[in-house]
Amino acid sequence: MIIKSDILKFRTETEAFKMIASEIEKQLPLELLRVEADFVSQIMYRVKYKGVSANGVVLHTKSKNPMGAYGQRHGKARRLRGLRIDMVNLSFTGRMQLDFNITEKSDLSIGIGFLTQESAQKAEENEAYYGDEIFEPSDQEEIDTMNDAEIRLLRLLEKII
C-alpha cells in the first residue's frame, strides 16, 4: 500500500507557521520594552505609594525618636517641604524616581536601573539602610508582568491565526 500526502497542504501550513514566527520575532523587541516599562512603573508605584521593599518589608526609620516614618531631622525637612512623613517613599527631590528607568536595550534583553550614578548610589545606600532590596521587581510584580505579557502574546497569535 502506498500512502500519499498532500504536499500543498503541508507547504501552506509551513508558510503559515513561518509567518507566525516572523510576526512574533518582529514584536519581541517591543514586548521586551513593554515588560521592562511595566516593571519600572510597578516598582515606582510600590515604593512611592506603598513604602515597601521588593520583599514586602515596610520601609521605616531606625531612629529611636521618629517623626512619622522618618527620623526627626529628615521628618522636619520633609514637613517643611510639604512632603509625607507617615510613610517612607524615598522621594525628597524626586530626582531618584525620575532616574529609575530602562537603562539598556538590545533585541533580546532590556535592563532597568538608574540613569545617573548619583541616583544609583542613593538607591544602594537606601537598600543598605533598610536592609532589603527595593528597586527590583517583587515576586508578585514578576508574576503579574509576565501574565500580562502572555496575554498580549496570545492576542497577537489570535490576530495572526
How many structural domains is the chain composed of? Answer: 1
Query: Domain residues for 74?
Result: 48-160
The reported pLDDT for the residue numbered 14 is: 81
43 occurs within a structural domain: no
Is 131 within a domain? yes
The answer as to whether 41 is a domain residue is no
Examine residue 118 and state whether it is found in any structural domain, yes or no: yes
Q: What is the pLDDT of residues 43-77, one digit of tens each?
A: 999 999 999 999 999 999 999 999 999 999 999 99
Give domain status of residue 37, yes or no: no
Stretches where the chain sits below pLDDT 50 are none
CA distances from 34 to 76, 116, 142 (A): 39, 22, 13
- Write down the pLDDT at residue 141: 96
Give burial (CB, 10 Å; 0-12/13-18/19+) of 160.
middle
CB 61 within 8 A of CB 126: no
Query: What was the pLDDT predicted at 44?
Result: 97
**92-103 residues labelled b (16+ CB within 10 A) or e (exposed):** eeeebbebbebe
Assign 59 to helix, strand or coil. Answer: coil
Is 94 within a domain?
A: yes
Spatial separation of the C-alpha atoms in residues 149 and 98, rounded to whole Å = 25
| Other Cβ atoms within 10 Å of 36 Cβ, number | 21
Whether residue 42 lies inside any domain: the answer is no
User: Strands, DSSP E only, in 108-161?
Assistant: 110-114
Is 107 part of a structural domain of the chain? yes
The residue count for the chain? 161
